[in-house]
Each structure stands twice: as structure tokens, then as C-alpha cells.
Structure 1
Amino acid sequence: MILTALALAAAIQDRCTALDTRLPRPLAGWTRDGKGLDTRHAVTLPVRNGTLETRITIRKAGLVGIAIDREGWIDAFPATGRRPLRMASERRGPRCSTIHKILTYRMRPGTYRVTVNRLKGGRAKLMLTHD
């Protein structure tokens, strides 16, 4: 009986009471809606036939993360390239957040095309992070 009470207490403690309230600093802009995919805010983009496409400009080389609020296949391409960049890492969004996953790519300054495929629904929310 004591073990059951401890398990119940742990389950209650792990339950999220609010979403997106304790995001880490690089994701603090997730709750702000802006124009264009950037690091200071999120953007909600229309999905057409399960796909969305946008362009980003990277000003400083480094690891760039692309956060998304739903399942989808994210690719990043150099603006004039046909081959996608190799993903550096993939991780789940923070606990108690509406971020589904974050894919990270090594990028140099320049323009890139970001595509997300296999999306369900009419819109998807994205945001960039930079390390």
C-alpha cells in the first residue's frame, strides 16, 4: 500500500500542469509569434499537401536547431543545392512543452531552404535555435 501511494505521488509530480512555461533560454521565444523563421520567435506556417517550405538566412556559423510542434520530416538545403544537409542531432522537445522535436544542423552564413514533409493538419509551428 505504501508503494502504491509513492507511485501515485510520483505520477502526480511528473504530470504537466501548464505547457511552455519553463522553456530553456534558447527556446524562450517559442511562445512569441513572429514573421519568418528566426531565433527570437516562432512562426506558424501554412501546410499544403502535407508540405511546407521556407527560407532562412544564417548570419553566424554554428549549430542551428529547427524546432517543430508536430511530427514531420525536416530537411535543410543550401539555397542553390539539391542535396540536404546532414543532420547533426535530433532530440525531443523539452518536457511539458508543445515542441515535438528539434533537429540540429551545422550551418555557415548564407541562405538555406527548409522543407518539412509528411505533415498532418493545415499549419505547423517552427522556430530556430543557434548554439
Structure 2
Amino acid sequence: MLLAAALLLLQTAPAPAAQTTACKATDASLPTALLGWVKPGDEFVPGKAVELDTIDAAALKGLPAGTKPGKAAMIGFKVETAGVYGVALDQGGWIDVLPGTEGGAALTSVKHGHGPECSTIRKIVRFDLKPGLYRLYVSGLPGAKVKAMLVSGE
């Protein structure tokens, strides 16, 4: 009896509202901190996106433990001012930031999130960084290229 009542309730329950956002133009209304997403640069610096070629993760030296299989990429960068920095990607993937130019353990992220609605930013992972040199490793990527951006501030 209870099972029949539960099935009846499930059949008559309204369907969840579809989450559709009408985007007039993709990447047209990015917040100030993300404006560089549409103006790629050559260096991985705050406020400029870069497009990186990917290779088979097994062939990329220095990948930290726990990276994901698939394609991967790496780029070095420098932080001048201490603060929370985000790494934005245009696709799903695993993001690791390591201090220095070789060796070391991946830093623990302090926040995870998605890009703004109506943007091509898939995810943003934030790290608390001090001045110095770092390496960004992204893995578990499906394609031959990945777009990435270093975002300063929350």
C-alpha cells in the first residue's frame, strides 16, 4: 500500500523547472577580474588567458601524484603580491599548483567554483599564494588544447 502511494506521488509530482539561461552573447558580460579571458596573452600572468597545447599525461614530466589520465599541460608563472589567486579553465580537468621550479608537493586549494553564467569558463580553483615562482599542471583533459587564466583576487 505504501509503495503504491509513493509511486503515485512520484508520477504526479511536477517536473523540476528547467534551468535555462538565455545568453545573448557568450563571454560578453564577464566581471572586471575576468575580462582578460577574451584577450589571450603569451604569458601566464593575472588578467590574461593563455592557450596551452596538451600532451599525453604519461609523457609530461613532473606531474604531481593524483593527477588524472588523459591529456595534460604545464606552465610556469610568477606571483609578485601575496593573495588568493584563481586558475580558470575552459574545460573540466584537474588543477594542481606547485611551488618553485621543480619537485615539491601540490598546494591545497582554498576554494572551487564554476565560471560565470554565459561564459566559456568551466571552472575556477583558488589557491593562497605568496610571492615566488610556481608551476601550473592541468590534467584529465580531453582535447589537444586548454585555455587557462590566472585570476587575482576573490
Query: What letter matches 2:28 in structure 1?
Result: T
Give 1:3's aligned residue: none
Determine the C-alpha separation between the residues in 2 that align with 1:38 and 1:78: 15
Q: CA deviation at 1:17?
A: 2.2
Determine the C-alpha separation between the residues in 2 that align with 1:33 and 1:114: 17
Match of 1:88 among 98, 104, 110: 110
Give 1:68's aligned residue: 89
Q: CA deviation at 1:15?
A: 1.3
Q: Judge conservation of contact 2:47–2:152 (CA < 8 Å) in 1.
A: no
Matching of residue 118 in structure 1 with residue 140 in structure 2: yes
TM-score, with normalisation over the residues of structure 2?
A: 0.75
Give 1:97's aligned residue: 119
Give 1:58's aligned residue: 79
Matching of residue 107 in structure 1 with residue 129 in structure 2: yes
Q: CA deviation at 1:41?
A: 1.4
Q: CA deviation at 1:82?
A: 2.1
Task: List alignment gaps of at least 5 residues for structure 1.
Answer: 1-6
Determine the C-alpha separation between the residues in 2 that align with 1:62 and 1:52: 24
Write the deviation string for residues 17-73 of structure 1: whole angstroms up to 9, x where unpaired. Answer: 210000011001100011011122110000101010010100000001000000110
Determine the C-alpha separation between the residues in 1 that align with 2:103 and 2:133: 11
Q: Which aligned runs of 4 or more in structure 1 are off by greater than 4 angstroms?
A: none
Determine the C-alpha separation between the residues in 2 that align with 1:82 and 1:40: 26
Percent identical pairs in the alignment equals 35
Query: What letter matches 2:99 in structure 1?
Result: P
Write the deviation string for residues 59-113 of structure 1: whole angstroms up to 9, x where unpaired. Answer: 0000010000001100000014421101000000000000000000000000001
> What count of residue pairs does the alignment treat as equivalent?
122
Determine the C-alpha separation between the residues in 2 that align with 1:113 and 1:41: 16
Q: Secondary structure at the match of 1:16?
A: coil
Q: Secondary structure at the match of 2:76?
A: strand
Q: Secondary structure at the match of 2:96?
A: strand
Matching of residue 78 in structure 1 with residue 118 in structure 2: no
TM-score, with normalisation over the residues of structure 1?
A: 0.88
Give 1:129's aligned residue: 151
